[in-house]
Homo-oligomer: A and B are copies of this chain.
Amino acid sequence: MSKDEAIAQLISVFRQYGYEGATLARLSKATGLGKASLYHYFPKGKEEMATAVLNHLSVWLEENILALLRGSGKPDERIRAMGKNVNQIYDQGEQACLLAMLSIGESHHLFHTQIQQVLNAWINALAQVLVEAGLETGEARLRAEDAILQIQGALVLARGLNDTTPFQRVLQRLPKDLLKP
């Protein structure tokens, strides 16, 4: 298994268990790599694994969300395109958000800056679409924050209620909610 393939497996552990719950035993089992192999790829250990996972997510966001939002289609279409990929990355609402999971406990201090940057990049790109759609800058920012907020809340509720329909509902109405006059 290559380093990039390993990272994909590491992500699933970090976002299911969080940083403190992501033990080397779990990371080793998920990747199929022994502990020594993990330390070969990530010499600084677990913290470097989490950093690599965050960088991987940052690239994914740029390519699969931000690029679409900066696209040339109609605002409505760009937001729907985002929704499609959001639905995919969160596995229809079954999987937690890595950013949210690394924002808790002691990992909060370790990764807060990077998490904040990624979240802001997402919000800003979404707000920019709304500005192009004719909204005032401040209102666009508020609505963009609201969209991310609802996605995150839906993921929390999905786990707590064991029901992903609120997540599906949020994604469904996102375009209309964001662009309403």
Chain A residues with CB under 8 Å of chain B are 16-18, 20-21, 96-97, 99-101, 103-106, 108, 112, 115-116, 119-120, 142, 145-146, 148-154, 156-157, 159-162, 166, 169-170
Contacts and interface: CB of A to CB of B under 8 A. Distances in A.
A149 B157 contact: yes
A154 B156 contact: no
Given A116-B162, A119-B161, A101 B103 contact: no
B18 A156 contact: no
Contact of A119 (B97, B106, B160): B160
User: 5 nearest interchain CB pairs?
Assistant: A153-B153, A149-B153, A152-B156, A21-B105, A152-B153
A120 B105 CA distance: 27
A135 to B, nearest CB: 16
A114 to B, nearest CB: 11
Report the copy number of this chain in the oligomer.
2
A17 B104 contact: yes
Given A142-B169, A153-B149, A154-B149, A120 B17 contact: no
Contacts of A162: 112, 116
A16 B152 contact: no
Contacts of A97: 156
A100 B158 CA distance: 10
A101 B104 contact: yes
B159 A156 contact: no
A5 B154 CA distance: 33
A104 B96 contact: yes
A119 B157 contact: yes
A103 B160 contact: yes
